[in-house]
Amino acid sequence: MVIGVCRIELALDDVFSLKEKRHIVKSIIERLKARYNASVAEIDLNDTWKNAVIGVSCVSNDAKHIDSMLNNIVNFVENDGRGILYNYSTEKIYID
């Protein structure tokens, strides 16, 4: 079993309130969950207007599938247009 984990850091320059930020982040999270069947949540900077950190995790029996899925998720967030993806990191955890 392989567990894939991704941390995505976003800059939300056009946001001027926490309510607006939460609306955007919630929308991105729900779209990722629906499209990729992954576990997704806002994991840091919850009370900061201009930045958000989203965590993603997924499980598979194939490391290539995890790589592909995480790459597609990162590309989706990058091309979403509501935030600027300025940093991300991925990790795979192998469990026997």
What's the rounded mean pLDDT across residues 76-84? 87
- The domain made up of 2-94 has a fold known as Alpha-Beta Plaits (3.30.70)
Q: Which two tokens stand for residue 69?
A: 């899925």
Which tens digit of pLDDT belongs to each residue from 65-79? 999 999 999 999 989
Contacts of 16 (CB under 8 A, 6+ apart): 49
**pTM of the predicted structure, to 2 decimals:** 0.85
Residue 59, token pair as written in the block? 């499980």
Sheet hosting strand 2-11, strand order edge to edge: 39-44, 51-60, 2-11, 84-94
3-state secondary structure of 4: strand
22-41 pLDDT tens trace: 999 999 999 999 998 899 99
What are the structural domain ranges in the chain?
A: 2-94
pLDDT at 40 (0 to 100): 94
**Closest C-alpha among 29, 51, 31 to residue 40:** 29
